[in-house]
Amino acid sequence: MSKKVIIVDDALFMRTMLRDIFESADWQVVAEAEDGGQAIAGYKKHRPDLVTMDIVMPEMGGIDALKRILAEDPSATIVVCSALGQKNLIMDAVNAGAKDFIVKPFQRAQVLEVVERVTTAS
């Protein structure tokens, strides 16, 4: 049975890139979201093995969504996605409970290495 993931990013292009990476590694993309509110709803509905969460999004950002999901399910595995110049935001997300981070632009090998590490550790 394949593992389930929700991809959260306000940019369709980034969601598509991640979808391709996950599907090529036999993951099931159960939902996509373009803001934190959609991420929370998707998490409640699907209870995936992993959430990839963009940090900077309109409506509700990734750190707020991450905190809300972890408040409801402390065992949730969330990896944040961010551009290189956002070290402070990445640290805020890790301090809030993110298991790890992936830097944009995505490299397939890097994404799968981080995903493997956090999903086998949890």
Full set of structural domains in the chain with CATH:
4-121 (3.40.50.2300)
104 or 71: which leads in pLDDT: 71
Rounded average pLDDT over 40-69 = 97
* pLDDT at residue 122 in the model: 53
Q: Residues 84-96: pLDDT tens digits? A: 777 889 899 999 9
Instruction: Determine how many CB atoms are found less than 10 A away from the CB of residue 78.
Output: 28
Residue written as tokens 């049975």? Answer: 1
- First-to-last CA distance in the chain? 17
Rounded average pLDDT over 10-22 = 96
Residue 29 tokens, joined = 């993309």
* pLDDT at residue 85 in the model: 72
Please give the share of the chain, as a percent, with pLDDT higher than 90. 85
User: With left for phi above 0 and alpha for psi between -120 and 50, is residue 26 left, alpha or beta?
Assistant: left
